Amino acid sequence: MGPNAHPDLKEDFSMNALVHKRLQAGCDMPDFQKKESEKIRLLKSSRLICSTLSISGHRDMVNFPEDFDTVVIDEASQGVEVSTLVPLKLGCRRLILVGDPEQLPATCFSEIAKEHKYDRSLFQRLQQTQYKVNMLNTQYRMHPDISQFPSVNFYDGNLLNFRDKEAFEAEYPTSWSHIPCLAPVAFFNLAGTMREESKSYVNEDEAQFIHDFFVCLRKAFPKEDWRRKLAVISPYAQQVNLIRHKFRELYHISSDKEPCPVDARLRPRPPAERPVRCERRSVCWEPLLLVERPAQDCIMVSLVRGAQLKSKTVGFLRDRRRMNVAFTRARLNLWVVGAAKVLSFNEDWKEFIDLLAGKCRLLRVTEPREDFLLRYLKRWHERNPKDDSTDGAALEAQSEESDCLLEAKDVFKLSPAEMDELRAEEAERLRYERDVEEVDEDDGIDPQEMAQSGVKRKADDAFGADFQQEEAPTRKEQNDDAEPEEEVAEG
């Protein structure tokens, strides 16, 4: 049901197409006056009808004279209660709500409406009234090291792995995850400079590091298709634009109107996973705002936050539901780039950083940053000469003075056929965006920061010694670099 059926499904399954075929069958001049009655007959003969919440209130459904046995609502925790009631008017005998209240909530912009619980979903209302909730507690997607933190911090340790670590790595082998800096979960501690730009925030240092990191991955593991394997996500719109610009330059794409070859987008949105297409591009933060994409093999997160505001807050990053969505998209690797000292003001982020510090996966990014990964891999290769996972000869060929990144850029160019494929993928992505019925909440600079800087809200923003192993920041270290400041109550 609805006008925006997927092209692969429209011809064979959409109501309009099926009705048209029925009217044309066996006659040269179809009688389209019978269209409405044919719709009723089609609905009566169908065992399964798919629609969005709003389309279920369309007159074609309302005029249907019969009741429905069962209504199943996916991502039910994201729909406001009023929206969820729309399909219930069809007289269902059984309602099944499927969702995750630990991920993104229902959309609501008004603070007054939130005070009156308008942002509460029917799923949450039933859960809060002690209605029985059945938890599907086995995850099939992530490496167990990735699922560890979400399980403990968001699901009280109840999230189980379908495969243990050994079985998972046998099923999804990689040639890099045994290297500490490319482990299934790693945090790159980079004290970059955050600045305000177009009523948003950017961190040039993080964007450049991610760009260089990608180039180094291509050089160290030339057999891997990193353009399709890696996704980069960030919570701020201008940071996304900056990353897109850098990747377009890398691939010799001069126009900002052309799609980004390593797709960069806005923030994690919850898992209403679209039909899986394995061959997709990849720079985004759309596990927080846009239509959810399928799981990606490797995800890099640019957190942007710096100490420039001299605040003890981390803006929109404090929302643990968004953090949960961001951390549960990756299948093989989750690599986070941010300023550990700043993020540790928040308890959830501090626990994550402490966990990685205990595993020696908190890595300080040292100068020169542009070849940090290559230097790390060369050092690793020197200490582990029998390890053939990296191209040791290629790494050794890069002297300390050689401009390895500039040399590597020559291979970053797309053929006309690849550009056509890229444009087709971008057109599909934009079509999915247009299909989103509701937009996300909190799409601006954090209210606390707004009071400090006078920056107006912008709907595009989401939330507000070499290779030395980093220690997790202590509370004293955090307080040394930040001026005391009262927390501003939200709402």
For the chain, what percent of residues have pLDDT higher than 70? 71
> Which of 414, 406, 409 shows the shortest CA–CA distance to 261?
414
SS3 214: helix
* Token duo for residue 278: 């394995």
In whole angstroms, give the CA distance from residue 189 to residue 470. 8
Q: Does the residue 458 lie in any domain?
A: yes
Contacts of 428 (CB under 8 A, 6+ apart): none
What is the tens place of the pLDDT at every residue in 296-349?
899 999 999 987 666 678 888 888 988 998 999 899 999 999 999 999 999 999
- Let me know whether 156 and 191 are in one domain: no
Asked if the model's pLDDT at residue 142 lies above 80, the reply is yes
Average pLDDT taken over every residue of the chain: 77
SS3 484: coil
Asked if the model's pLDDT at residue 484 lies above 80, the reply is no
- Give the pLDDT score at 344: 93
- Other CB atoms within a 10 A radius of the CB of residue 454 amount to 7
- Give the pLDDT score at 178: 93
Q: Does the residue 93 lie in any domain?
A: no
- Give the pLDDT score at 310: 67
Which residues in 421-432 are b (16+ Cβ under 10 Å) and which e?
ebeebeeebeeb
| Confidence band, pLDDT 50/70/90 cuts, at residue 272 | very low
CATH number of the structural domain spanning residue 244: 3.40.50.300
Beta strand 230-233 pairing with 296-302: parallel
What is the tens place of the pLDDT at every residue in 439-467?
333 333 444 444 444 433 333 333 333 44
- Let me know whether 296 and 389 are in one domain: yes
SS3 462: coil
Which amino acid would we find at residue 312? K
- Give the pLDDT score at 271: 36
Which amino acid would we find at residue 242? L
What phi, psi does 330 have (nearest 5°)?
-80, 145
Q: What is the mean pLDDT of residues 29-52?
A: 82
In whole angstroms, give the CA distance from residue 42 to residue 49. 10
- Give the pLDDT score at 446: 47
- Give the pLDDT score at 32: 62
- Give the pLDDT score at 96: 95
- Let me know whether 195 and 327 are in one domain: yes
- Last-in-domain residue among 173, 193, 217: 173
Q: Does the residue 98 lie in any domain?
A: no
Q: In terms of residue numbers, what domain contains 388?
A: 185-480
Asked if the model's pLDDT at residue 417 lies above 80, the reply is no
- Let me know whether 335 and 437 are in one domain: yes
What is the number of domains present in the chain? 3
- Specify the higher pLDDT residue, 255 or 485: 255
Helices first, then strands: H and E counts in the chain: 21, 12
- Let me know whether 222 and 151 are in one domain: no
- Give the pLDDT score at 257: 67
- Let me know whether 231 and 273 are in one domain: yes
In whole angstroms, give the CA distance from residue 21 to residue 178. 56
Are the C-beta atoms of 23 and 7 separated by less than 8 Å? no
Q: Does the residue 27 lie in any domain?
A: yes
Structure-token match 């279920």, residue found: 56
Are the C-beta atoms of 343 and 349 separated by less than 8 Å? yes
- Other CB atoms within a 10 A radius of the CB of residue 324 amount to 22
- Give the pLDDT score at 472: 61
Asked if the model's pLDDT at residue 389 lies above 80, the reply is no
Q: Where are the beta strands (DSSP E) in 320-382?
A: 330-338, 362-364
Beta strand 330-338 pairing with 230-233: unpaired
Are the C-beta atoms of 231 and 345 separated by less than 8 Å? no
- Let me know whether 279 and 144 are in one domain: no
> Which of 114, 112, 81 shows the shortest CA–CA distance to 99?
81
- Let me know whether 217 and 362 are in one domain: yes
Determine what percent of the chain falls in helix, strand and coil, rounding each to the nearest 5: 40, 10, 45
Pure H helices in 46-102 = 59-62, 81-88
Q: Give this prediction's pTM.
A: 0.76
Q: Does the residue 468 lie in any domain?
A: yes
* Token duo for residue 78: 């994201």
- Specify the higher pLDDT residue, 462 or 260: 260
| Confidence band, pLDDT 50/70/90 cuts, at residue 478 | low
Asked if the model's pLDDT at residue 286 lies above 70, the reply is no
Element (H, E) at 112: helix 111-115
Q: Does the residue 15 lie in any domain?
A: yes
Structure-token match 């209403």, residue found: 272
- Let me know whether 152 and 257 are in one domain: no
- Last-in-domain residue among 173, 196, 224: 173
Q: Does the residue 275 lie in any domain?
A: yes
- Give the pLDDT score at 395: 60
> Which of 210, 221, 263, 272 shows the shortest CA–CA distance to 241?
263
In whole angstroms, give the CA distance from residue 420 to residue 425. 9
| Confidence band, pLDDT 50/70/90 cuts, at residue 67 | confident
- Let me know whether 23 and 148 are in one domain: no
- Let me know whether 225 and 295 are in one domain: yes
57 burial level (CB within 10 Å; 0-12, 13-18, 19+) = middle
Q: Which residues, in sequence order, are bridge partners of residue 201? A: 196
Any idea which of 179-188, 256-265, 310-319, 371-380 has the lowest mean pLDDT? Answer: 256-265
Structure-token match 């799923």, residue found: 123
SS3 94: strand
Which amino acid would we find at residue 170? A
Q: Does the residue 213 lie in any domain?
A: yes
- Let me know whether 166 and 269 are in one domain: no
Phi/psi zone of residue 69: left (φ > 0), alpha (ψ -120 to 50 degrees), beta?
alpha
